[in-house]
Amino acid sequence: MRWDPFRELSDMRETMDRLFERGFSRPWRLLTWDMGEGFFPVDLYETDDEVVVNASLPGVKAEDVEIAVTGDTLTIKGETKEEHEEKKPNYYRQERRYGAFQRVLTLPVRVDADKADATFEQGVLNLRLPKVPEVRPKTIEVKPKGVIEGKPS
């Protein structure tokens, strides 16, 4: 196969275009979560019995978080209000962070929202959603043909 330097340059340009579209057009998304757009990091995985969601919500109070499950959709939303004020002679600083956030996730399986358990500790929301019984894995024993009660026929 003949080497084509222009093809490699084209591939590199496409890669750079994707990088700028996803990351550098809104670089703050790489560093932190943006309150206005509702982006915050979430881990979502399933075990044999449940779906587990861990969401990082720094600076948010547990009473300001609302969780809803509708069908196969999980919605986590809330609001944060944070103020810090410091006064010294010839020095003044006041910082504020407030706004609403929301994240909508598609659940991989049906869950029983009535039996869900949510805890909030040190800015991390931990949500456990038990699967409905019909989607839990079941083990089916395979028997050789002609074997009844452990005796060959």
- The predicted model gives 41-70 an average pLDDT of 92
Instruction: Produce one character per residue of 64-89: b if its CB has 16 or more CB atoms within 10 Å, e if not.
Output: bbebebeeeebebebebeeeeeeeee
Taking alpha carbons only, the member of 31, 57, 50 closest to residue 107 is: 50
* pLDDT of 132 above 50: yes
Report the chain's mean pLDDT, rounded to a whole number.
Answer: 80
**Predicted pLDDT of residue 117:** 95
Please give the average per-residue pLDDT across 127-137, as a whole number: 87
Counting Cβ atoms within 10 Å, is residue 54 exposed (0-12), middle (13-18) or buried (19+)? middle
Give the class (CATH, top level) of 32-135.
mainly beta
pLDDT tier at 148, thresholds 50, 70, 90: low
Q: Is 109 helix (H, G, I), strand (E, B) or coil?
A: coil
Is 60 exceeded by the pLDDT of residue 147? no
pLDDT for 34-54, tens place per residue?
444 457 899 999 999 999 999
Contact criterion met (CB below 8 Å) for 142 and 112 = no
pLDDT of residue 13: 83
pTM of the complete model beyond 0.75: no
How many Cβ atoms sit within 10 Å of the Cβ of residue 103?
19
What is the percent of the chain where pLDDT is above 90? 35
Q: Is the pLDDT of residue 128 over 70?
A: yes
Average pLDDT over residues 60-70: 92
The DSSP annotation for 61-107 comes to -GGGEEEEEETTEEEEEEEEEEEEEEEETTEEEEEEEEEEEEEEEE-
